Amino acid sequence: MYGGGNTFEGIKTDSLSQEDPVKLAAFEARIARGEKIEPTDWMPQLYRKQLIRMIEQHAHSEIIGALPEGTWITRAPGFKRKMALMAKVQDEVGHAQLLYSAAETLGKSREQMIDDLINGKSKYSNVFNYPTFTWADCCFISWLVDAGAIVNQLANAKGSYGPYCRALERICAEESFHLKYGHHCVIYLASGTAKQRQMFQEALNRWWPPMMHFFGPSDKISAHTEVLMRWKVKMGTNDEMRNQFLDMYVPKIWELGFTIPDPNLKKNTETGKWEYTEPDWEEFKRVINGNGPCNKERLEVRRVAEARGRWVREALKSPKAAYVTPLA
């Protein structure tokens, strides 16, 4: 689903001065050569911390991202759409499994990550704190939220941490189905009745602001990320990612005859960059801090699942198995 690493909080680079300069230089040289970092390699504390945070947030986004679409499985129009949506949602939960494993190689246990999700300590992609009113909202997510996620994930797959890159390669292969399926759904609505077209237009109006937020705060106001770019933790600025998304998908939305609810949206032919009304970053902050329309419900669903699944975990527990950090 997601994968931008666009946490709103800034990073503290103080710990860098305490790192061994020789090791740090060797580490940076390895990344500059294009080599991957593996779990047992030396790495700066900040690199480890930032990667855990980013991969963990990505994993949570897959799990929570399954909820707004999952609700439409039983109400999807027709058997084929039900099967496809079920397969897609199953993929998203599978993505979370792969991503949790990658984060675990850095030393944080899966249990700790899940605890941090349900007690509200960890974040996930803001876009999933909005409701899916109609089937068309669900189609918007399948096509365009996934498209945004793919822009991020393809970039991150070229990053420096081996286990994360390997997980992303696998994930990206599955995302191509999500994207084609989502586009297919929207083409059907677009070429259908006036009512169907109206449904999608309304969904587009609702989802455009969160979609613009999806790539994170504008470069003008977002935290300093130079060191994360040098370490190939972050593979592009938020604005670069947003621009890439607009470049690929705005023409496709217009082609279907829909109106994007931003009168200032246009491509500047000289700079090659898209211009748009500045998204409301106060709203973004409000939602990321827990006050969006669905934040409470999303976490509550996870808590209920955790509580109701407890007896199963208890029943399965075996003294012979033991948690250890994954190898690679």
Partner 1 sequence: MNSLDPRVSRLPQIQEPVSLKAPLDQFGTFEVFVQPKEGKPFQHEGIVHAPDIELAWVLAKETFTRRFTCTSLYVADTRDVYVSPLTEGESNAYDPIPETRESGIKKTYEIYHLAKRGRQHVHAGTVQAATPQHAMTEAKLQFNTGKTVYNVWAIANDAIRFTTPEEKELWLTLSEKKFRDASDYKGGDKLKEFLERKLIS
Site residues for partner 1, window 293-312 (CB under 8 A)? 297, 300-301, 303-304, 306-308, 310
The item of Fe ion, partner 1, none sharing an interface with residue 318, based on CB under 5 to 8 Å by kind, is partner 1
Query: Using the rule CB under 8 A, is 24 a contact of partner 1?
Result: no
Q: Which is nearer to partner 1, 83 or 248 (CB)?
A: 83
Name which position in 56, 104, 137, 146 contacts Fe ion (CB under 5 A): 146
Q: Among 58, 108, 178, 234, which residue interacts with Fe ion (rule: CB under 5 A)?
A: 178
Cα angle 93, 133, 116 (rounded to 5 degrees) comes to 40
Distances (CA, A) of 1 to 139, 152, 155: 14, 9, 13
Residues forming beta bridges with residue 267, ordered by sequence position: 274
Residue 210: other Cβ atoms inside 10 A: 21
Under the binding rule (CB under 8 A), the answer on residue 195 touching partner 1 is no
x/- letters, 74..113, toward Fe ion (CB under 5 A): ------------------x--x------------------
Verify binding: residue 229, partner 1, rule CB under 8 A: no
Tokens of 154: 């393809």
What type of residue is 44? P
C-beta of 37 vs 89, nearer to Fe ion = 89
User: Which amino acid, 108?
Assistant: K
Work out which of 20, 115, 219, 275 binds partner 1, going by CB under 8 A: 115
What is the CA 92 to chain-centroid distance, rounded? 11
**Cα–Cα dist 176/182, whole Å:** 10
Q: What 3-state DSSP class applies to 275? A: strand
Is 267 near partner 1 (CB under 8 A)?
A: no
Spatial separation of the C-alpha atoms in residues 189 and 201, rounded to whole Å: 10
Q: Is residue 191 part of the contact set for partner 1 (CB under 8 A)? A: yes
Contacting residues toward Fe ion, per CB under 5 A? 1, 92, 95, 146, 175, 178
